[in-house]
Structure 1
Amino acid sequence: MNKQKTSLPVRFRNWFAGRGWTVRPHQLAVLGAVIAGDNALLIAPTGGGKTLAGFLPSLIALADAPQPRLHTLYISPLKALATDIARNLETPIAEMALPIRVETRTGDTPANRRARQRSDPPHILLTTPESLALLLYQPEAAEYFADLAMIVLDEIHALAGTKRGDQLALCLARLHALAPRALRIGLSATVAHPGAMLDWLSPDGHGGATQLVLGEAGAPPEIGMLIAPGRMPWSGHMGLMAAEAILQQIRAARMTIVFVNTRAQAELMFEALWRHNEETLPIALHHGSLDVNQRRKVEAAMAAGRLRAVVATSSLDLGIDWAAVDQVIQVAAPKGVSRLMQRLGRANHRLDEASRALLVPANRFEVLECAAAIEGVAALDLDGDPPREGALDVLAQHVLGRACAGPFHPDNLFAEIRTAAPYAALSRRDFDDVVRYVEDGGYALSVYERYRKLFRDSEGMVHVRNARIVRLFRMNIGTIVEAPVLKVRMGGGRGGGITLGEIEEYFVAMLTPGDTFLFAGRRLRFVGIRETSVIVTDGGSGEPKIPTYVGGRMPLSTNLADRVRAMLHSPAQWVHFPEPVREWLDLQAVRSSLPGPDDLLVETFPRGGRWYLVAYCFEGRQAHQALGMLITRRLERFGGQPLGFVATDYVLGVWCAREPGDIARLFEQDMLGDDLEAWMDESTMLKRSFRNVAVIAGLIERTHPGGERSRRQVSINTDLIYDVLRKHDPTHILLRATRADAAHGLVDLARIAGMLARVQGRITHRRLRRVSPLAVPVLLEIGREQVRGGEAEDALLAEAEALLAEAGVTPCVHLA
């Protein structure tokens, strides 16, 4: 950190004093780093003036010596955040009469303004990664960015480690080549791996010339747990039973953000609150599927203080400054400490005042998770994985973009790309394979003219082939591919058969032909996928699989899972739990065992003519879903006759026709060898993952002149190409990228591998005569999927009471 004494110019000191503010040490430290010619990563709590710290060097530099060209580039993951920052910057600029022009450039910016910005750029341009990429891939980019002096990267934690972050890292590497004197300032309140983030931010990809600046701690947050009176659900639920209690908390505050984890939950909670809102308090809804104009109306009403509450998803997670918010309510467990702290920061937004928050667990396991999250916040134990290696499909998009901006030599481009931290370890072989793919599609596709996009001249320079390729590239830039849904058709494809509805592709990717699943109140047998339809027939043998949904895939963080396991193993910590939860855990300790911090508790017991296996893994729904697929394959080979499984964030439950044996062998690490390979090859997972990779890498255009391609066209083309590549070019760069994506995004392979390694020799198997208290929630999840019809709730309540009686728990009124 820079030790030299740094002070503000007189004009800025007077402005701070006029507002009754004192410049904070971390704001001066960032300014000092810039004066010393260094980059800076500022990690400071929400409300500590991070944004102002990021812009102070630019405002001071431009105050007395404005330049006619672009000076500062601000990059945000959210268009709304860029708009909010522009509004906030106007205050110091106007009050100090600074000759500085600030503008935004996002996908919502009108075409005429974008055109004017290219010829007459503002001093400070606020944009997003996608809009920056479009500017950089223009032939005039070198001239446009020639005088760039500062780059401010906001909410940096939300980008690093994602494909959008990979795209941004490549763009930053290009900016450094065009404007090598431009300095970078990264801003975040929640960075779990500062060293890795310094690497990501630095111009050399290894943390060089980059200072870490830590802001002073703010007032500790005040976090409580809200348990709805008279009810403590065993499993499932979305916290809707607490709507009336939540509304009482809203009445007692000026303004509240009610955070939920999915868009469906947001809609349901908003409806539930209004059912109790007899005095018609102004309560609004905000999530990513709403029309942009509707979201802006809600944001404007929040800023003006006209609302008492907003029900929101992660669409309001990031650092928009809502000064009137004095309370945050998180409904359902937050799934991570960092995510909870980010949401806490939306309340009060002032460093010297405690943020007030309430957590509303939706069931008994979530009580444990909420308690662990509160403990993690108090310990400032941030979670999250370090940024992974850069994705090769994003690199392919960047290579074509570089050619659209002008010819390049592969040696020079390789050296430039390796300065981006996600690609610092990129091998020359992978780079050359990516360039070859962009050039002509690779070995198996090179015979087709449409895949030939680049050519090399006699000096080895790489050029784009024609203007049509440039036009198509600019229409399809970006790394966000919406998760699609597929139509479920009975007995037909290509428009034939009866359409039952739509189901998320993520669930279908887990199926193999012959599998049975439940949909629209029917038991269906999966035949296969034809274009954009799931072809099914009625019936099927065995128990149906349990559908999974993208909305339920918010991962439980590793740190939080560790805390939950440790808490279960420490009865002294149960004193803060509600009495029903304490009794539940006490009974579990008597009738079976409690999961330990480092072991794996597996219970097996008979019930209703079946055998059940329940494994308390605590690795998150996504990892458990993949683990369930692998475990059932092994059970088939071992003669266990599995019938189905269900995965929650905490537990994996499998039911079989025969008693599962040799539990230790079932969880051996070799399942990640042949079992994994066979499952991935047989399922549609890789084919579905390939579609996203192919779209990002430019193999298939989402949009073409004349309109957007239909999902049917995209799926037909990518499925055919996938089959061709697997047969004729199995090491193709896009197939390698596909497998890496599937291992990380769909299977959560690292999480499963870590758990299996941790529990080897530490598996505790309890062979029980009946269901254990801790297993009741997962068996109710099975019942919830299987019970259908008008008497579903009564049937589920009866199932709950029967289970509780078997487990030795005294049933009471609100148990289901």
Structure 2
Amino acid sequence: MSPSPHLAGAWFARQGWSPFAFQERVWQAVAEGESGLLHASTGAGKTYAVWFAALHRFAEGGSATASNQSAPLTVLWITPMRALAADTARALEAPLKDLDIAWDIGLRTGDTGSAERARQGRRLPSALVTTPESLTLLLTRADARQAFAGLRMLVVDEWHELLGNKRGVQLQLALARLRQWNPTLIVWGLSATLGNQTHALEVLLHPGHGRLVQGLTPKTLQVDTLLPPTLERFPWAGHLGLRMLPQVVEELETAATSLVFTNTRSQAELWYQALLDARPDWAGLIALHHGSLSREVRDWVERGLKDGRLKAVVCTSSLDLGVDFLPVERVLQIGSPKGVARLMQRAGRSGHAPGRPSRVTLVPTHSLELVEAAAARDAVAARRVEARLSPEKPLDVLVQHLVSMALGGGFRPDALFAEVRHAWAYRHLGEAKWAWALAFVRHGGHSLTAYPDYRRVEPDEHGVWRVPSRRLALRHRMSIGTIVSDAALTVKFWRQGGSGGALGSVEEGFIARLRPGDCFLFAGRLLELVRVDNMTVYVRRASGRKPAVPRWNGGRMPLSTELADALVDQLGAAARGEFANVEMQRVRPLLEVQQAWSALPTATSLLAEVLKSREGWHLFLYPFAGRHVHLGLANLLAWRVAQRQPVTFSIAVNDYGFELLSPTEVDWARWLTPALFGHEHLLADVLASLNAGEMARRRFREIARIAGLVFSGYPGAQKSARQLQASSGLFFEVFRQYDPDNLLLAQAEEEVLRQELDVTRLEQALRRLQERHLDIRPIKRPTPLAFPLLVERFREGMSTEKLADRIARMVRDLEKAAGPGGPESAVEIGQPSLERDDDLSRRPRAPRQRKTGLPRQRKTAGR
């Protein structure tokens, strides 16, 4: 007897629920053997829509068999995060006992213990919740085809988080293999925040088709803003909003349980410590959660949220996705979310149940983020959600997949070629690139033929390609995945005669700057470095000394096009004298100074400000295209001008615009023409304007790691980030000199353009700038929009203390020039916590000056 929709409806009724129409549509589609994509708001019931569809079609009801054996593997549930995996497994297990279904639920992630892995090696559970990496690892089993013989349905949760990156491509390849084994496999994707659902459906189900189900359930999403008590008319990115601490504490007091989201792990560490200092009585009631903490810490925090025992949790994207914490009443977002989808996702962590409203409160870290807050609320209301696009033909992922499939029973090249082209990312893969990939895994290409370690796959006497040695097989299994970061060092307490428990992991690049006795914040504690040994950082508790804050890679997010457009709409309304909401009314004094000294950007104009100072001639340009595009755009324009006039530039960028500073005069009214923004020969000009070779070298480290050229080491003997960088750099130079047609070199260059510089968005920005009216404004002093860009440039050559002093003097002078209307205290800097979290341990150094006509690239940190 199989469970019917009637039984599912009865189970829903026992929970006090009624099925939604979209859930019943999914049940019907799966009953008819259809695949598809379910798009519904957070907390609307997507999980049970697809889970009960699987139970209706495949589960056998009644009591367990006489051998007490559960059903074989029938459903695979793919999740992008470990925290989400554990939560999903609990949700899937809930109805099984009530419905008397003889299924068991299993977890397979990086956190799964060896004993559980061994059990799964003997027999996989009826439904397995796993990640893309763990699924690929399962496919490397010699008996993989037999192990997956009973698989009937695959669900991809939070599909939008995988769609646009290499993890999603890895999953596409795994899906192609599973579909080849079972052409009737039913596949469903789940998502709450996708702006291009048709593309998402096509990528997931390629080359087949399926049904797009919209979960149009009523969901109130409230976005409001915590207004600062005073307004800075000359803001700068770097305060981290800690002056808003009293208001944040007041907001947390009004709710039983809250989540406080930050955009970086460093920011989370600082905010957790600040909350604890402000409310010592909350010790044990507030917690910290981010991906570098140990699994035990994260599990404890998640259980506390589930049980409603925690007052607040300061977190990062580690709690962004689909985790069901019903007690959470409030969500606070520190700083701009930088994207509409991210804001909606985080808002959905509150009221995470059908029919319950979700509320997110934005906490601005500087005055201009009030404008972003107003723009974000309008964009959410209009559902202007960002699109996610799948990468195309990443060869490093393909090379890794070839070795994986050689382990998983072996492959015949012609058959695997046809199978790989069933993955959307490789649908146009040509025979030449396929032949190159085969040669690369067989002998390392033209330049590595003499080295046995790169003969990773060889055909046997029957023409089946297999991995020739156990050692190479072990190395490959330990390297599966597409997530690449600096080497992580385990942080442990120092104990005399031994070590204490692990607190988590920190990137090697941060620890390398510290000496024994230095202090840093980690896991919500002030720690003193004792020693570093065997990839382990030993620490003891410290007190009373100024700490550094670990800086993790991947924490800086550019402003999305959708949110940037909404922001410019707000500024355009202000230019017309319209201040329609509380945020814009509050920031009005700043905007009035900007209007009086220069102008406000609009959707039809491109604002350019020109300033002469003791430093030289400044151009401030405001395309509002995000930091990645501005970096490429600033270098491009500087290079094009330098071809016409010998000049050297220094560059600073943020999400709103960029600054070009030259020691000699530049007639910007002459050069800022539509021709300067032309997109013809864009790729050649971008590569010429940047140190593209060095950027490609850095990108190649990730590609070399994914493609299996470099091995990060065995457990307890991992190689350092410097060793890995040196190894990948050696390969880079060898290929450039002896194998210049190596396709991994071309991929590195392509990824620099597509990811680091976002050249597609850069071209779109150039087209838009050509259509706008150029509004050049000579200014006598930095405007509220220009001031943050000056601060970005100052950061590079100053220590924190000197930077704070200089900013304080500048702000006092600017506020005096602006006249009445500013804050009672022109600036309250004291000893600020800069958003560039490594600035706290930065030593003073003099800025470098370029002697060539090419622009000098400057890193920036403003949000």
Per the TM superposition, whether the score is higher than 0.5 is: yes
Matched, 1:713 2:723: yes
Whole-Å Cα distance in 2 between the matches of residues 809 and 687 of structure 1? Answer: 52
Distance (Å, rounded) in 2 between the aligned partners of 1:552 and 1:797: 27
Q: 2:35 aligns with which of 31, 35, 39?
A: 39
The aligned residue for residue 740 of structure 1 is: 750
Instruction: Report the 3-state secondary structure (helix = DSSP H, G, I; strand = E; otherwise coil) of the residue aligned with 2:579.
Output: helix
Once the two structures are superposed, the pairs formed by residues 563-574 of structure 1 within 5 Å of their partners are: 563-571=566-574, 573-574=578-579
CA distance in 2, matches of 1:454, 1:466: 9
Q: How does 1:445-456 map to 2 (within 5 A)?
A: 445-456=448-459
Deviation at 1:465, TM superposition (A): 2.6
Contact 2:3 2:61 in 1 (8 A): no
The equivalent of 2:847 in structure 1 is none
Distance 1:781 1:813, change over 3 A: farther
Report the more deviating stretch, 21-30 or 770-779.
770-779
Q: Match for 2:658: what amino acid? A: L
| 1:652 to partner: Cα distance | 0.6
Counterpart of 1:653 in structure 2 is 659
Q: What secondary structure does 1:11 align onto?
A: helix
**1:195-232, Cα deviation, whole Å (9 max, x unpaired):** 11111221xx14x3411111123232121111121244
CA 1:607 to 1:502, structure 2 compared with 1: closer, same or farther past 3 Å?
farther
Point out the more displaced range, 384-393 or 72-81: 384-393
Indicate the SS of the match to 1:642.
coil
1:298 counterpart (297, 301, 318):
301
- Secondary structure of the corresponding residue to residue 243 of structure 2: helix
1:25 and 2:21 matched: yes
Distance apart, 1:31 and its partner CA: 1.1
Q: Runs of 4+ in structure 1 displaced over 6 angstroms?
A: 501-505
Q: Where does residue 813 of structure 1 map in the other structure? A: 824
1:416 to 1:609, Cα distance in 2 relative to 1, 3 A: closer
For the residues of structure 2 that align with 1:79 and 1:197, how far apart are their CA atoms? 23
Q: CA deviation at 1:287?
A: 0.9
Q: Counterpart of 2:362 in 1: which secondary structure?
A: strand
| Structure 1 residue 786: Cα displacement | 4.8
Quick check: 1:627 aligned with 2:623? no
How many pairs are equivalent?
752
- What residue number does 1:757 align with? 767
Q: Distance in 1 between matches of 2:10 and 2:801?
A: 70
Measured after TM superposition, the shift of residue 9 of structure 1 is: 3.8
**738-747 or 548-557, larger mean C-alpha shift:** 548-557
Residues 25-50 of structure 1 show CA distances to partners (whole Å, capped at 9, x for unaligned) of 11111111111111021111112111
Matches within 5 A, 1:396-435: 396-435=399-438
Tell me, in whole angstroms, the C-alpha distance in 1 between the residues paired with 2:218 and 2:92.
Answer: 23
Task: Identify if the C-alpha distance between structure 1 residues 19 and 706 changes in structure 2 by more than 3 Å, giving closer, same or farther.
Answer: closer
- Cα distance in structure 2, aligned partners of 1:327 and 1:412: 53
Which region of structure 1 is more displaced relative to structure 2, 752-761 or 574-583? 574-583
Point out where structure 2 has 5 or more consecutive residues left out of the alignment.
65-69, 490-506, 512-550, 828-863
The CA deviation string for residues 455-506 of structure 1, in whole angstroms up to 9 with x for no partner, is 33576543333332212111111111114699xxxxxxxxxxxxxx98689x
Cα deviation code 1:758-806 (max 9, x no counterpart): 2125351414141334323322433455554646534321111223455
Q: 2:541 matched to which residue of 1?
A: none
Which residue of the partner structure matches residue 236 of structure 2? 235
Partner of 1:526: none
User: SS where residue 603 of structure 1 aligns?
Assistant: strand
Cα distance, 1:611 vs. partner? 1.1
- Say if 2:55 is the partner of 1:52: no
Stretch moving more, 783-792 or 212-221: 783-792
More deviation in 429-438 or 292-301?
A: 429-438
- Which segment drifts farther, 690-699 or 117-126? 117-126
Instruction: Please state whether the residue corresponding to 2:824 is helix, strand or coil.
Output: coil
Give the direction of change, closer, same or farther, for the CA distance of 1:672–1:166 in structure 2 (3 Å limit).
same
Q: CA deviation at 1:253?
A: 0.8
CA distance in 2, matches of 1:390, 1:789: 44
- Is the 8 Å Cα contact of residues 71 and 104 (structure 2) preserved in structure 1? no
The CA deviation at 1:234 is: 0.8
Q: SS at 1:389's partner residue?
A: coil
- Summarize the Cα distance change of 1:815–1:415 in structure 2 as closer, same or farther, 3 Å threshold: farther
Alignment match, 2:375? 372
Determine the C-alpha separation between the residues in 2 that align with 1:504 and 1:645.
26
Q: Is the 8 Å Cα contact of residues 344 and 356 (structure 1) preserved in structure 2?
A: yes
Give the structure 2 partner of residue 696 of structure 1.
706
Greater relative contact order: 1 or 2 (C-alpha under 8 angstroms, separation 6 or more)?
2
Aligned: 1:586 with 2:592: yes
How far has the Cα of 1:640 moved from its partner? 6.1
| Counterparts of residues 270-309 of structure 1 (less than 5 Å) | 270-280=272-282, 282-309=285-312
SS at match of 1:64: coil
**1:266 aligned partner:** 268
Provide the C-alpha distance between the structure 1 equivalents of 2:377 and 2:595, rounded to a whole number of angstroms.
24
Amino acid at match of 2:236: S
Instruction: Say if 2:142 is the partner of 1:139.
Output: yes
Is residue 2:221 matched to residue 1:215? no
Aligned partner letter, 1:782: R
More off after superposition, 591-600 vs 327-336: 591-600
Distance 1:149 1:574, change over 3 A: same
Q: In the alignment, which residue of structure 1 is the partner of 2:59? A: 62
**Structure 1 unaligned runs (5+)?**
1-5, 487-500, 506-547
* Cα distance in 2 for residues equivalent to 1:549 and 1:814: 34
Q: Give the secondary structure class of the aligned counterpart of 1:447.
A: coil
Contact 1:485–1:504 (Cα < 8 Å) also in 2: no
Distance 2:598 2:115 in 1: 69
**How many Å apart are 1:629 and its aligned residue?**
3.5
Report the residue type matching 2:623 in the other structure.
C
Contact persistence 1:145–1:179 (CA under 8 A): no
User: What is the deviation of 1:103?
Assistant: 1.2
Q: Which residue of 1 aligns with 2:741?
A: 731
Contact 1:408 1:463 in 2 (8 A): yes
Q: What is the deviation of 1:395?
A: 0.9
For 1:604-643, list aligned pairs within 5 A: 604-639=610-645, 641-643=647-649
Residue 254 (structure 2) pairs with residue 252 (structure 1): yes
Distance 1:659 1:640, change over 3 A: farther
Residue 116 of structure 1, CA deviation: 1.7
- Matched AA of 1:774: L
Which one-letter code corresponds to 2:263 in the other structure? N
- The letter of the residue matching 1:379 is A
CA deviations on 1:649-704 (whole Å, 9 max, x unpaired) are: 11211221122231235544357344422355565211111111000001111224
Q: Which amino acid aligns with 1:656?
A: S
Aligned to 1:165: 168
How far apart are 1:407 and its partner, in Å? 2.9
Deviations 1:144-184 (A, max 9, x none): 00111111111111011211111111001111112222211
User: Are residue 797 (structure 1) and residue 803 (structure 2) matched?
Assistant: no
Equivalent position of 2:85 in the other structure: 82
Q: How many angstroms does 1:239 deviate by? A: 1.3
Partner of residue 663, structure 1: 672
The reply on whether 1:103 has 2:100 as its aligned counterpart is no
Identity of aligned residues (%): 37
